[in-house]
Amino acid sequence: MEYLPNWIKPFDKIFTQLTYRWDHLQIFEDFLSIAVSNFQLVPTEGLAERMRSTYNEKELQLFAELFRCWVMTMHNEIKSEEWKYLDILGEYYQYLSGKYHKGKLGQFFTPQPMVDMLTEMTIEEPTDEIQTVSDPTAGSGRMLLSAHMKLKGKMLAFAEDIDGMCCKICALNFLIHGVEGEVIQHDSLRMSDIIQGWHVNPMRKYGAFYIQPITQEESVIMRHKAGEQPKAVQPQLFDKPPAEEHVVYF
């Protein structure tokens, strides 16, 4: 992907102003870290200090404008019929990958029509039961977003990916689309320890939407795969392993 849809161009216009002194990849990764931290109850330790020591005041203001642009674009697109497909950060990551860092990033996410086709083939019609949907190579979370839409929010989503930026994008997509679940960064093929992880919207049913960092021991994914009882940050939402008949794997 080496072109930009019109609705991403305002985001790119602000982003480009930051790239005169800094690498595109560094800017995007720092933006994702800021965005995730902004939705946590407790900001990421040391992030504010690192940002102030790295960037000047004008650049820090541009980061704030970039965050506002993303939130407002998402807010406006929610009013349209296609809002469920909106993945600004995933689209932009692909754009940076194709234009500037082909060898380093190499991220190409599943096109939305194929995502919807796979969802129709895999996910049954929604019932009163809460389904657990898992994607061990989640990328920006598009498969899980599509499942969330079809199941009308009656699901817990569990996402794994080896790419740290993908995981942050996925967590932010969960947050802003109202998806409840967990995102962890690790090698799901080798089942390595997690590098970072979050519970997203763990108190959604009470109207609270936020991102909460978790440890290896608090990861429902890791404990469930090990056959252990999950010890989640919010036990009222993650109080037992999902029944196998309610688990869908992409």
- Report helix, strand and coil shares of the chain as percent, to nearest 5: 45, 10, 40
For the chain, domains (ranges, CATH) are 6-99 (no CATH), 112-249 (3.40.50)
Q: What is the mean pLDDT of residues 75-94?
A: 76
At 192 the pLDDT is 86
Using CA atoms, how far apart are residues 130 and 109, in angstroms rounded to an integer?
27
Mean pLDDT of the chain: 84
CB 219 within 8 Å of CB 191 = no
Whole-model pTM over 0.85: yes
Summarised one tens digit per residue, pLDDT across range 123-171 is 888 888 888 999 999 999 999 999 998 998 899 999 999 999 999 999 9
Q: What is the mean pLDDT of residues 91-119?
A: 74
Q: Following CA atoms 72, 76, 81, 83 in sequence, which dihedral angle do they give, to the nearest 10 degrees?
A: 0
- Rounded to whole angstroms, the Cα distance separating 58 from 117 reads 45
Cα(75)–Cα(83) distance, integer angstroms: 9
pLDDT at 125: 83
Q: Does the pLDDT value for residue 104 go beyond 60? A: no
Average pLDDT for residues 245-250, to the nearest whole number? 43
Position 120 scores a pLDDT of 87
pLDDT tens digits, one per residue of 194-244: 999 999 999 888 888 999 999 999 999 888 777 765 544 443 444 444 444
Q: For residues 222 and 100, which has the higher predicted lDDT (pLDDT)?
A: 222
